[in-house]
Structure formats: C-alpha cells, structure tokens
Amino acid sequence: MLEIYSHTHHPLHDKILVDKKGNEYQIDVVTEDFYYGKFISIMYRKIGTKSHGCLYWENISCQDETILKSIEENQNEYFLKDFDL
C-alpha cells in the first residue's frame, strides 16, 4: 500500500534538503511506504536542474535491515534547511 501526502498533509513537502557538499534539493513528493513495516520516502529534485531521485527518509515501523541502513545513511548525508517540526 502506498500513501501519498500532498503539501497540505505532510510538512516535508517543498522543503529543502542539503547534502554534505552543499548541494540543495527540493522535496517534491512525500510517501508512506510499506515493506516489512512503514517508512517515509521522498522524491527530490536538485534545484536548478531536472535531476531527481528518491531516498528513504524516516522509519516508522520497518524491520528490513537494508531499508534501515539506507535511512541511517541518508540521515547522515542530508539535512533539512531551515526546518522545525
């Protein structure tokens, strides 16, 4: 089951991610995915280009080791610019 949040439902939508090199990316889509539990994934676009990608961002209840490792790596590689929950 895939749940897609609009910008009115999820606070990450349209926020800016910054990687360790200083590149900035806009978050275009936020989804709640399910694979051995729930987790949040985001689709992002490099600002000023058409380059885009997807990454696993936050664990809710996922038990898959590969996804958990990817979430940890992404949390260490990227940070949210000017964002408070």
**Identity of residue 80:** L
Phi-psi category of 12—alpha, beta or left, where left has phi over 0 and alpha has psi -120 to 50? alpha
Q: What is the pLDDT of residue 82?
A: 77
**CATH number, domain with residue 68:** 2.30.30
Q: What is the pLDDT of residue 41?
A: 95
Q: What is the pLDDT of residue 60?
A: 96
Q: What is the pLDDT of residue 13?
A: 82
Contact 58, 40 (CB under 8 A): yes
pTM, to two decimals: 0.80
Contact 74, 56 (CB under 8 A): yes
Mean pLDDT per 10-residue segment, the chain (85 residues): 57 90 93 94 92 94 97 96 68
- Structural domain harbouring 17: 3-81
Instruction: Give me Rg for the CA atoms of the chain.
Output: 13
Number of domains in the chain: 1
